[in-house]
Amino acid sequence: MASVCVIVPCYNAAKTLRLCLEAVLAQTRRPDEIVVVDDAGSDGSAGIAASLGCRVVRLPENRGVSAARNAGAAATTADVLFFLDSDVALRPDALANALAVLDADPGCGCVQGVYETEPLIDDGPAEWYRVLHAAFWRRRHLGEVTGLVFALAAIRRDVFQAAGGFDEALRDCEDVEYASRLHGRCRVVLTDAVQGRHDDGSRLAGILAEQWRRAVPLVPLLLAAARRGGGQPEHANRPAGILAVALAPVPLPLAVLHPAFLALSAACVLAFTVSDPPLVRFVHRHRGTAFTAYFLLVHLAVHAVLVSGMAFGALRLLRRPARAG
């Protein structure tokens, strides 16, 4: 039987860490080891982990989630590494189900799970937006995938070592970069047999700021993956919706010439709202009409930041050769 270590990168996660680790300890298939990597936090998270009997690896300075995951992997010799974010509480059968997928399919090197449709801690409507969106788009792609999200994912140690560790220069989009290196080495499976409740961002400003940070490096990383022959990750958002938001501002400068150009912008926004009917139905089924309207407004704002961040990242990439010269 393969041994398994649950690796939890942690930075000032006292709010959720106990819930996370108690869920790990309650697994029907208990892990052989639990390693919590304290990324130079200051809120007592390391003490919480130690009090629950977990092995704690302390980093001397804050280095980000990539370095924390690498440190956790280096601290264990287990056959399977189960990476788990400190704000996720697994269902009791999650670990057993992940190992069952790997045992049944030798060609599968990595299995990743999905979020449940309710937050770990209910912090309001902005968090419900994030939780429902994440729960839906991952379920849309169940099966063999190219992209990776290591919030709750198990990977064989030999596969992890062959692909190399996470890029410690990246504090965002590290999953995108890693997936491009893993592509072609093994099959990656996304399954709803592995689930966990996620405590996500609860303030709209913070959600938009995080979206910007993740959007800026996205174009360079995707281009680099394409040059290496790596696969492109599955879309979290419909390309049609992204395109509609990107086109919406284009007619606005011409509105001084004729108001019809305002109508074109409005049409683009309307096209965005109807670009993903299954998502709208999913949200409506879980939270009703009023919340669905709120969800679409926040979704529009998130898309506007996504498009702006990707454009900024692309422009910055185009300017690099000029600076080098």
Give tens-digit pLDDT for 31-59: 999 999 999 999 999 999 999 999 999 99
Q: Considering only CA atoms, which of 285, 296, 192 is closest in space to residue 244? A: 296
Q: For position 325, what pLDDT does the model report?
A: 40
Residue 113, φ and ψ in degrees, nearest 5:
-105, -170
Model confidence at 304, in pLDDT bands (50, 70, 90)? very high
pLDDT tens track for 71-99:
999 999 999 999 999 999 999 999 999 99
Q: Is 22 exposed, middle or buried (0-12, 13-18, 19+ CB in 10 A)?
A: exposed
Q: What is the pLDDT of residue 321?
A: 60
pLDDT of res. 292 = 98
Least confident of 143-147, 172-176, 237-241, 305-309: 172-176
pLDDT in tens, 7-36: 999 999 999 999 999 999 999 999 999 999
Give me the pLDDT at residue 195, please: 98
pLDDT band, very low/low/confident/very high, at 173 (cuts 50, 70, 90): confident
Average pLDDT over the chain, rounded to an integer: 93
Q: Which amino acid is at 188?
A: V
Query: Quick one: tokens of 254?
Result: 């011409």
Rounded Cα–Cα distance for residues 191 and 204 (Å): 29
Using alpha carbons, select from 241, 292, 235 the residue that is nearest to residue 270.
Answer: 241
pLDDT higher than 50, residue 290? yes
Partners of 83 in the β-ladder? 7, 153
Amino acid at site 212? W
pLDDT tens by residue, 223-238: 887 787 766 788 899 9
Q: In order of start, what are the domains of the chain with their CATH numbers? A: 4-201 (3.90.550.10)
Q: How confident is the model at residue 278 (pLDDT cuts 50, 70, 90)?
A: very high
Each residue's pLDDT tens digit, 102-126 = 999 999 999 999 999 999 999 999 9
Residue 49 has, within 13 A of its CA and on its CB side, a CA count of 28
What's the rounded Cα separation, in Å, for the pair 48 and 52?
7
In whole angstroms, give the CA distance from residue 158 to residue 4: 13
Tokens 């992209």 locate to 147
For 257-272, how does the pLDDT look when each residue is reduced to its tens digit (9 = 90+)?
Answer: 888 889 999 999 999 9
- Rounded Cα distance between 23 and 92, Å, is 7
Reference 18, options 41, 58, 51; nearest CA is 51
Out of 76-85, 153-162, 165-174, 283-292, pick the least confident.
165-174
3-class SS string, the chain: CCCEEEEEEECCCHHHHHHHHHHHHCCCCCCCEEEEEECCCCCCHHHHHHHCCCEEEECCCCCCHHHHHHHHHHCCCCCEEEEECCCEEECCCHHHHHHHHHHHCCCEEEEEEEECCCCCCCCCHHHHHHHHHHHHHHHHCCEEECCCCCCEEEEEHHHHHHHCCCCCCCCCCHHHHHHHHHCCCCEEEEEEEEEEEECCCCCHHHHHHHHHHHHCCHHHHHHHHHHHCCCCCCCCCCHHHHHHHHHCCCCHHHHHCCCHHHHHHHHHHHHHHCCCHHHHHHHHHHHHHHHHHHHHHHHHHHHHHHHHHHHHHHHHHHHHHHHHC
